[in-house]
Amino acid sequence: MYDVVIIGAGPAGLSAAIACREWDLHVLVLDEFPKPGGRLLGQLHQEPSGEWWNGIQETNLLLEKAQKYDTDIRCGVSAYHIEKLEHGYAIHTNQGSFETENLLLATGAAESAVPVPGWTLPGVMSIGAAQVMTNVHRVKVGQKGIVVGVNVLSAAIARELQLAGVELHSMALPASNPATVQHSNPNTVMDGLVRIAHLAPSAFLRFGSKFAKASWVRRLAVKFYPKGGVKMWGMPIHIRKAILSINGNDRVESVTMCRINADGEQIPGTEENITVDFVCIAGGLYPLTELAAVIGCPFRYMEELGGHVPIHSERMETPLKGVYVAGNITGIESAKVARAQGELAGLSIAADKLKAHADLQQHVEDAVKLVATTRADATIQFHPHITDGRHKMEQAFQQTKSS
């Protein structure tokens, strides 16, 4: 019987494991990917300070610490079911079952697909898949591609592909259909773009300051958006052009692009074909919560957090005894926040287990504060109202506990 089994070896799971090992708990970390690090492994971007955030280096720092404390991390292990036992939980995986008193779910986020006609052709991939192939596996995804979907994640990853020498024609919106509502409206997309202006210190800052924060300025910017797109790092970003279809017989051969009005409606007669051999679709992220659902955690739907999220406290505990959550499963945020949440979750688990250690409570409180300051300082913010979402979630937890 383990003191704690952690599912997910991303920044949240690894930091939690380190905190638990510092307090000498009996810990096991499981991850289904062949390597530890989670989504950190693919990350590479420049901070406004000019410094680079290199996910592989950040992963190595965490792994060195984990090794120092003799942490048991097993990769290639996929958890498919969790059952409640009398005094804990049984985790069923493709490599056998594990029993534990406490459980930390740090399973991260998944990508939303954006269905446009032809999206099931070989050569179409999610933007995250392109990131993993490029930065983790070092495989060139194709000769020339296009990005469908303009948001924080796709802008960051498009830049990574460019740095790796992969040619991109441009970024554009998906054409409007019932499955792409949020992603196909130029005004909504522009609101999001202004928030990522700081991502690209030189090129994109100009973009951001041009369109400022006032909503009437943004409306005007959408209305008079240049036909050739606005260039970021030399690559055109189109929010008044959309991809109508992805074409090809056995694989991607081209896309059909058209101009759209400020409401996202197609302007007839503006269709053009663009030759590409791969397409990255980017529909944003949502918390990967299946395991929390399977053990019966109650949920809340909160758009600010990216979708359905298991109810949890600011100490990262759920209403189920011994079940904790940390990282993107609790809401979509950057890797630094996930890392701070992981440390907090690890300390909470240790504090609940080793009740006699009074100073542990103080560590937990400090860690709660660190999560808040990390959030406030975050370079990448996926949702504008994240802090409101966090407050609402704390209220939901208190309500659930008292009822």
Partner 1 sequence: MDDLIICRCEEVSLADIKRTAHMYQCSAREVKLRTRAGMGYCGGRTCRPAVDAVLEEVTGEKPGNDIPLKVSPPVRPVSLSTLGGSERHE
Q: Contact positions toward ligand FAD, by CB under 6 A?
A: 7-13, 30-33, 38-40, 42-43, 45, 78-79, 106-109, 111, 128, 131, 153, 156, 285, 288, 291, 327-328, 334-335, 338, 380
φ, ψ for residue 238, nearest 5 deg:
-105, 125
Q: Tokens in use for 212?
A: 């400022």
**Among 46, 117, 259, 372, contact with partner 1 (rule: CB under 8 A):** 117
Q: How many CB atoms lie within 10 A of CB 327?
A: 35
Q: Which of 14, 124, 141 is nearest to 72 (CA)?
A: 14
Q: Tokens in use for 14?
A: 């690894």
3-state secondary structure at position 230: strand
For the chain, the farthest-separated pair of C-alpha atoms sits apart, in whole angstroms, at 74
Binding residues among 311-370 for partner 1 as defined by CB under 8 A: none
Q: How far is the CB of 32 from ligand FAD (least distance, A)?
A: 4
Q: Tokens in use for 86?
A: 């009398």
Nearer to ligand FAD, 221 or 309 (CB): 309
Q: Rule CB under 8 A: say whether 178 interacts with partner 1.
A: yes
Q: Which of 120, 123, 159 is nearest to 42 (CA)?
A: 159
**Among 79, 232, 260, 349, contact with partner 1 (rule: CB under 8 A):** 79
Nearer to partner 1, 23 or 98 (CB): 98
Q: Which amino acid is at 295?
A: I
Nearer to ligand FAD, 23 or 33 (CB): 33
Q: How far is the CB of 115 from partner 1 (least distance, A)?
A: 5
**Among 46, 54, 162, 182, contact with partner 1 (rule: CB under 8 A):** 182
Q: How far is the CB of 175 from partner 1 (least distance, A)?
A: 8
Q: How far is the CB of 368 from partner 1 (least distance, A)?
A: 25
CA distances from 224 to 164, 186, 221, 231, 240 (A): 33, 12, 5, 15, 9
- Chain position carrying tokens 């036992």: 85
What x-and-dash track marks residues 283-322 binding partner 1 by CB under 8 A? Answer: x--x-xxxx-xx---xxxx-----xx--------------
Q: Which of 55, 70, 54 is nearest to 22 (CA)?
A: 70
Q: How far is the CB of 296 from partner 1 (least distance, A)?
A: 10
Q: Tokens in use for 348?
A: 């909470």
**Among 56, 75, 110, 136, contact with partner 1 (rule: CB under 8 A):** 110
Q: Which of 32, 33, 29 is nearest to 63 (CA)?
A: 29
Q: Rule CB under 8 A: say whether 261 interacts with partner 1.
A: no
CA R_g for the chain: 22
Rounded CA-CA distance 247/40 in Å is 33
Nearer to partner 1, 50 or 96 (CB): 96
Q: Rule CB under 8 A: say whether 81 interacts with partner 1.
A: yes
Which positions lie near partner 1, rule CB under 8 A?
2, 28, 32, 78-82, 92, 94-99, 110, 112-117, 119-120, 177-182, 283, 286, 288-291, 293-294, 298-301, 307-308
